A and B are shown apart, each in its own frame.
Chain A
């Protein structure tokens, strides 16, 4: 079936350290994956995406890794800052589903000063 799940519901990180948020997906037909950041009271904000023909993609301070063998996705945030505090969602999108995004339940990232 279709499902996107996260290993940890909460993550606490020291300011300045790197953060790693993990995600597992179960549908091998998924071909597009997205990470969103959602701050309290706001809509999800696009961070970075990756297609199934890639295994790594880098953005500004963020890196997404995709391991199709074990159906695992991760988001790495370098030099975590207080403004990174939010809930992070991984999501999957299948071309065959007319662009419907399926979200996981989210990981809350908190930053320790």
Chain B
């Protein structure tokens, strides 16, 4: 399967702990996006990379959140000092430069106790 993959699929953590999620985009895609989705809502944009450059960040991305894409392939999203309000599904998507269709991965569901 050459779709977008995300790991882990589920993460349960205690408040105050740090968590890191990984996204592997479709191999030929140079754009990568992170979204957050809470129950009953549509996904909300967090940040976007073109190759290794982080080009846009939402105001939803507080200073406890950091995303990287060091080699322009996979990306990581880290949340420091997690809070209960961080509980959500974290979705990754990728697309080809110049083609807008974004293809989503299965998501990582985070539960903060």
Contacts and interface: CB of A to CB of B under 8 A. Distances in A.
A binds B: yes
Interface of A: 4, 32, 34, 36, 41-46, 49, 89, 91, 93, 97-106
B91 A43 contact: yes
A104 B48 CA distance: 19
Contact of B41 (A32, A100, A105): A105
Interface in B38-77: 40-45, 48, 55-56, 58
A43 B106 contact: yes
A91 B44 CA distance: 11
Nearest to B102: A101
Given A43-B106, A44-B91, A46-B103, A103 B31 contact: no
Interface string B87-105: 0000101010000111111
Contacts of B25: none
A100 B58 CA distance: 10
Contact of B55 (A89, A98, A102): A98
28 contacts: A4-B42, A32-B100, A34-B101, A34-B102, A43-B4, A43-B6, A43-B106, A44-B43, A44-B104, A45-B104, A46-B104, A49-B101, A89-B42, A89-B43, A91-B42, A97-B56, A98-B55, A99-B95, A99-B100, A99-B102, A100-B45, A101-B35, A101-B93, A101-B102, A103-B42, A103-B43, A105-B41, A106-B40
Nearest to A49: B101
A32 B91 CA distance: 21
Q: 8 smallest A-B Cβ distances: which pairs? A: A103-B42, A43-B104, A100-B45, A44-B104, A43-B106, A43-B107, A98-B56, A89-B42
A39 to B, nearest CB: 10
Contacts of B103: 46
